């Protein structure tokens, strides 16, 4: 209940925000939320054992779906991230986050007796890099970064020798210039515009500047439901997805923004309590629970911090959904499945 109640309140807040922007999207999101919470209670009643025992199957199934999505997926603004299932656009990368956390928690419970630490670590890196690379090529740099953060945090708190982290950071530093060459033009432009917002104020910097203006225009109490000029008149692009937080603050002001962040804080606190509980228990089962809770916390915190940061102009635009507030069914359903599988 410590996680469920703030999740419901955030969902309600997200629905109010959408109602002030687009009533059509409001009703669609309302259906998404109803389905999401039904699925949450179904999975909660099933228990986590089935999903834990079959984490490898779900991992490879989602890998296959990611490949299919890359080949024949629905293309939107140059990205192939969705499979059109007629009633629902399925975004495999969102659901894979939960599967990846579950799979990694099981993987790091302990290596085989005859397996050395280095080969064990390299296998874990392959399990991370394969899906991350496919998602990066969709292209979806933001969600690829989510996987990188989850993997890094789990590695830090696993039993792996910490010198491997040094190898990982060194390799990342050496390959970073090469990685720049693989970025799409708009991705490079987003990073450049973050470093210098006045570089192209009517082009690549436009979204970030408009998001900051939108947040500032909300004042302390906001302009009121449906009265946000920046978002309602579409000066702010992607006002229901990437920049939904800016739209929310314009309508409900600093008070609304603070309340949303406070609710996120309650969820983070509840997850942190679970992590601390399982951290001090040394058996294998509790180690899996600890790593799973840690992975879900990493996934949740990264998305919240990055999205709010980019809305405030503090971080580069990454195209990451804000949990419960951004419009979309896949992201909220995947997250609630992750919460349902918490021990």
Q: Which region among 25-29, 112-116, 211-215, 301-305 has the lowest average model confidence (pLDDT)?
A: 112-116
Greater pLDDT, 110 or 150: 150
Give the pLDDT of residue 100: 97
Of 330, 323, 321, 332, give the one whose Cα is nearest residue 88.
330
Q: pLDDT at residue 198 above 60?
A: no
Greater pLDDT, 316 or 277: 277
Mean pLDDT of the chain: 86
- CA-CA distance, 316 to 27, in Å (whole number)? 31
Is the omega angle on the peptide bond into residue 139 within 30 degrees of 0, that is, cis?
Answer: yes
Give the pLDDT of residue 66: 92
Greater pLDDT, 186 or 125: 125
Task: Spell out the alpha helix ranges (H) of the chain.
Answer: 4-19, 23-46, 49-53, 55-72, 92-107, 117-136, 141-157, 163-182, 185-195, 206-217, 229-232, 244-279, 284-311, 329-340
Q: pLDDT at residue 186 above 80?
A: no
Confidence of residue 117 (pLDDT cuts 50, 70, 90): confident
Per-residue pLDDT, averaged over 252-273, amounts to 95
Per-residue pLDDT, averaged over 32-60, amounts to 93
Confidence of residue 74 (pLDDT cuts 50, 70, 90): confident
Q: Whose structure tokens read 């740099």?
A: 141
How many of the other CB atoms lie within 10 Å of CB of 39? Answer: 14
Write out the DSSP string of 94-113. Answer: HHHHHHHHHHHHHHTT---T
Q: What are the Cα distances from residue 285, in Å, to 25, 101, 190, 296, 340? A: 42, 15, 43, 17, 18
Give the pLDDT of residue 109: 82
Q: Whose structure tokens read 């917002």?
A: 197
As given in the structure block, the two tokens for residue 59 are 């991992």
> What percent of the chain is predicted at pLDDT more than 90?
49
Domain that holds residue 232: 4-340
Q: pLDDT at residue 166 above 70?
A: yes
Of 96, 91, 101, 105, give the one whose Cα is nearest residue 60.
96
- Provide the whole-model pTM: 0.90
Kind and range of the H or E run holding 79: strand 79-84
Greater pLDDT, 149 or 194: 149
Write out the DSSP string of 151-198. Answer: HHHHHHHSSS-THHHHHHHHHHHHHHHHHHHHS-HHHHHHHHHHH-TT
Residue 203, SS3? coil
Q: Are 275 and 267 spatial neighbours (Cβ–Cβ below 8 Å)?
A: no
Q: Are 267 and 301 spatial neighbours (Cβ–Cβ below 8 Å)?
A: no
Give the pLDDT of residue 4: 93
> What percent of the chain is predicted at pLDDT more than 70?
89
Q: pLDDT at residue 5 above 90?
A: yes
As given in the structure block, the two tokens for residue 123 are 């296998």
β-bridge pairing 89-90 and 74-76: unpaired
Beta bridge partners of 82: 74
Q: pLDDT at residue 195 above 70?
A: no
How many of the other CB atoms lie within 10 Å of CB of 272? Answer: 14
Q: Are 230 and 261 spatial neighbours (Cβ–Cβ below 8 Å)?
A: no
Give the pLDDT of residue 140: 84
Number of residues written out for the chain = 343
Give the count of domains, the chain.
1
Residue 318: CA atoms inside 13 Å, Cβ hemisphere, count? Answer: 24
Give the pLDDT of residue 131: 93
């Amino acid at each position: 209940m410590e996680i469920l109640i703030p999740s419901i309140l955030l969902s309600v807040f997200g629905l109010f925000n959408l109602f002030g922007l687009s009533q059509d999207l409001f009703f669609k999101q309302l259906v998404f939320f109803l389905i999401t919470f039904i699925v949450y209670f179904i999975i909660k009643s099933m228990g986590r054992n089935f999903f834990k025992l079959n984490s490898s199957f779900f991992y490879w199934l989602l890998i296959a779906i990611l490949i299919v999505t890359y080949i024949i997926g629905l293309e939107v603004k140059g990205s192939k991230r969705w499979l059109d299932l007629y009633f629902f656009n399925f975004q495999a990368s969102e659901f894979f986050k939960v599967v990846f956390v579950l799979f990694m928690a099981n993987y790091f419970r302990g290596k085989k007796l005859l397996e050395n630490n280095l080969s064990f670590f390299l296998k874990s890196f392959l399990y991370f890099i394969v899906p991350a690379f496919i998602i990066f090529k969709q292209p979806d740099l933001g969600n690829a970064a989510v996987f990188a953060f989850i993997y890094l945090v789990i590695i830090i708190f696993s039993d792996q020798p910490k010198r491997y982290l040094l190898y990982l950071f060194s390799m990342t530093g050496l390959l970073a210039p090469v990685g720049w060459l693989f970025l799409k033009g708009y991705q490079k432009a987003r990073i450049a515009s973050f470093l210098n917002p006045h570089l192209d104020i009517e082009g690549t910097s436009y979204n970030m500047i408009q998001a900051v203006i939108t947040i500032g225009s909300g004042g302390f109490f906001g302009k009121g439901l449906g009265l946000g000029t920046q978002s309602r008149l579409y000066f702010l692009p992607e006002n229901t997805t990437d920049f939904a937080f800016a739209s929310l603050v314009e309508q409900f002001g600093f008070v609304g923004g603070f309340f949303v962040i406070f609710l996120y804080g309650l969820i983070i606190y509840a997850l942190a309590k679970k992590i601390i509980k399982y951290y001090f228990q040394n058996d294998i089962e509790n180690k899996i629970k600890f790593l799973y809770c840690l992975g879900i916390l990493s996934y949740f915190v990264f998305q919240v911090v990055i999205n709010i940061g980019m809305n405030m102009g503090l971080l580069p635009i990454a195209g990451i959904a804000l949990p419960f507030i951004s419009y979309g069914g896949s992201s909220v359903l995947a997250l609630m499945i992750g919460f349902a599988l918490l021990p």
